[in-house]
A and B are shown apart, each in its own frame.
Chain A
Amino acid sequence: MTGWQTLLYKEVLRFWKVGFQTVAAPVLTAVMYMLIFGHVLQGRVKVYDTISYTAFLVPGLVMMSVLQNAFANSASSLVQSKIMGNLVFILLTPLSHWSWFLAYVGSSVARGLAVGLGVFLVTAWFGRPGLVAPLWIIVFALEGAAMLGTLGLIAGLWAEKFDQMAAFQNFVIMPMTFLSGVFYSIHSLPDFWQRVSHLNPFFYMIDGFRYGFFGVSDVSPWLSLAIVSSALLVVSWVAVHLLRVGYKIRT
């Protein structure tokens, strides 16, 4: 294995060794959402004419789990390594900023997809969504996971303590995911909130992802793809730049 592949392998091994906490636990959380919201709202909320609410909920929950876990992976790994001091073992190596980027984002994508697949397998049993355009599903899952893995990398570099990282997660990532249309179609929102939702890049990830299952969405999947890809390029550029200058890690 080359240098960056080793770092990727190490980062995957890190979450896989505590898989009960990093993969099984989020799957269970998503099942809870499914049971409660599915039970309470089934039959009361109609999003698209032909789709039951529980089926509508499945892709949203899957994408939410992918996003949250991709973020948590790179962010907590970096903060933990900084606090434990063992980041020095990577800082001492000849690994380039691109190697760091590929490894941390790659392992976040791996964890996001592992959790997402778990959530899908369990919740699909309740909801039975279709699989109209699987390629869109894969593309949006990959881009969404990469986007949040990159944001986690930035947050992990920035945060010096666990509570700073938790603040980033609770005050930025959580609201943006919850308000992106995981539990509802934004068409059901008042006009003003519809327009606000259109400013949230997370909305396009979930909307495009859902298109892959049902073949219907709030906006065109091509528009979603363009917006998500542009956002991914911007945050990646920021992350690579921070790694190159050694932001907060090389004093």
Chain B
Amino acid sequence: MPAISFQSVSKLYPAAGGTSLKALDAVTFDIEEGEFFGLLGPNGAGKTTLISVLAGLSRATSGRVAVHGHDVQIEYAQARRRLGVVPQELVFDPFFSVRETLRIQSGYFGVKNNDDWIDELLQSLGLADKAAANMRQLSGGMKRRVLVAQALVHKPPVIVLDEPTAGVDVELRQTLWQFIARLNKQGHTVLLTTHYLEEAEALCSRIAMLKAGRMVALERTSELLKAASSNVLRFKLDTALPAQFEGKARVTGRIVQLPAHDAHEIERYLAIIREAGLRVEDVEVRKADLEDVFLDVMSAGYAGRSAVAAAPPPDDGTAHGADPREADSIEAPTA
């Protein structure tokens, strides 16, 4: 039984002029028990809507969502007992101290005498000396840690983190990921949405990508990386980009990045630069990372290679606890 199952989940919001906005469009995928799963997509792709439907904060217009087989609408109590959700917004209750907040949250789930686990959470998240502090007195990063502790206070087997590291300093990101990785090793399923693609690349064994409410990729992280252009030629350029690179290159200020499949392609690019007589600096060739894949998929450039990507992925052993029999498939991009 999958830890989380999304079956053809759609969500329509009424919009101006009697039309409706499709925030989610028949999203279907399963997350197996023990997986560390990444959900990626640009702003407005529907990540938070999907998590809201999972957590019962929002109702799907159609489709079904289940946690350990419990429907989130019909058996909401059983489903929510198994879920620990860290919301994206930095919210808190200003009336209470950190310890009171955690005791109260335990109580909502009917967990009694939970102080040992609360102390462990405070310790693991670097909050031990803040236990008696009022929530209002905490910095943004500290409030974020309390949100994580609140989500874990009833020891849920499935942990959902909605952009937990947005606007968070390096130290907290390290603390947080060590802790979440430890929980994952102990068998907890983790569903993560993040804007930091290097985090998803380092942590997630599988990744789904959403674009405008539709799923455009669902793959093992290693397969996604393999399917994309394997190399990137990167250099700095002060003058205008040659016409041959238009539409291929990703330009960030002075930095130009060109995806390349092999050494021949790199040679061809370099020849164009030489012939145009361009002055380039800091030339380097690097391995493609998840950011390249992400941009590739989001610009729908992934469509041509979907045949390659849809090949059954070999069990690479990096996916912790994932079911190797599960053959991932890729949906045709909408654009």
State whether the Cβ of A42 lies closer than 8 Å to any Cβ in chain B.
Answer: no
CA–CA, A92 and B57, complex, Å: 7
Flag whether B87 is at the interface (Cβ < 8 A). Answer: yes
B116 within 8 Å of A (CB atoms): no
Complex interface: stretch among A45-53, A81-89, A172-180, A195-203: A81-89
Given A13-B95, A250-B59, A85-B89 contact (CB < 8 Å): yes
Q: Which of B76, B96, B104, B106 lies at the interface centre, i.e. has the most chain A CB atoms within 10 A of its CB?
A: B104
Q: Once the chains bind, are A10 and B104 in contact (CB under 8 Å)?
A: yes
Cα distance A10–B92 when bound, in Å? 14
Residues of A155-209 at the interface with B, using a CB-CB cut-off of 8 Å, are none
In the complex, chain A residues whose CB is within 8 Å of the CB of B106:
6
Compute how far the CA of A13 lies from the CA of B57 in the bound complex, rounded to whole angstroms.
Answer: 25
Which of A29-37, A93-101, A124-132, A213-221 has 4 or more CB atoms under 8 Å from chain B? A93-101
A7 at the interface (CB under 8 A from B): yes
Q: Judging by beta carbons under 8 Å apart, are B104 and A6 in contact?
A: yes
Q: In the complex the two chains form, what is the Cα distance from A246 to B95 in whole Å?
A: 25
Interface centre among A2, A5, A14, A91 (most CB of B within 10 A): A91
Smallest CB gap from A85: residue in B: B91
> Chain A, interface size: which category?
20 to 34
Asked if A93 and B58 sit within 8 Å, CB to CB, the answer is no
Residues of B within 8 A of A17 (CB): 95
B85 within 8 A of A: yes
- The answer to the question of B7 belonging to the interface, with a C-beta cut-off of 8 Å to chain A, is no
Is the CB–CB distance between B108 and A3 below 8 Å? yes
Are B93's CB and A92's CB within 8 A?
no
Report the tally of A-B residue pairs with Cβ distances under 8 A. 80
Residues of A within 8 A of B112 (CB): 1
- Per the CB 8 Å criterion, the residue count for chain B at the interface is 31
A93 x B109 contact (CB < 8 A): yes
Interface check A24, CB cutoff 8 A:
no
Q: Are B57 and A94 in contact (CB under 8 A)?
A: no
Which chain B residue shows the least CB distance to A96? B77
Cβ–Cβ contact A86 & B93, under 8 A: yes
Chain B 287-319 near chain A by CB (<8 Å), digits 1 or 0: 000000000000000000000000000000000
Query: Would you call A86 and B83 a contact (CB within 8 A)?
Result: no
Indicate if the CB atoms of A5 and B107 lie closer than 8 Å.
yes
Is there a chain A Cβ closer than 8 Å to B105's Cβ?
Answer: yes
Contact of B218 with A by CB under 8 A:
no
Contact indicator A3/B55 (Cβ below 8 Å): no
Which residue of the partner chain B has the closest CB to A99?
B108
Residues of chain B within 8 A of A93, CB atoms compared: 80, 105, 108-109
Q: Verify A91–B93 contact, CB threshold 8 A.
A: no
Asked whether, in the complex, the Cβ of B107 is within 8 Å of the Cβ of A92, the reply is no
Q: Say whether A226 faces chain B, with CB atoms less than 8 Å apart.
A: no
Knowing A2-B110, A94-B80, the reply to whether A250 touches B56 (Cβ < 8 A) is: yes
As a 0/1 sequence over residues 73 to 111 of chain B, the CB contacts with chain A under 8 angstroms (1 = contact) are 000111011010101010111111000100011111110
The verdict on A41 contacting chain B, using a C-beta distance below 8 Å, is no
Are B109 and A94 in contact, CB atoms less than 8 angstroms apart? yes
* Bound-complex Cα distance A87 to B91 (A): 9
Contacts of B78 in A (CB 8 A): 94
Q: Other CB < 8 Å A-B pairs besides A2-B107, A89-B93, 13 of them?
A: A2-B110, A3-B108, A6-B107, A9-B104, A84-B91, A85-B87, A88-B91, A93-B80, A93-B105, A94-B80, A94-B81, A246-B59, A250-B56
Q: Which residues of B are interface residues toward A (Cβ below 8 A)? A: 52, 55-59, 76-78, 80-81, 83, 85, 87, 89, 91-96, 100, 104-110, 112, 150
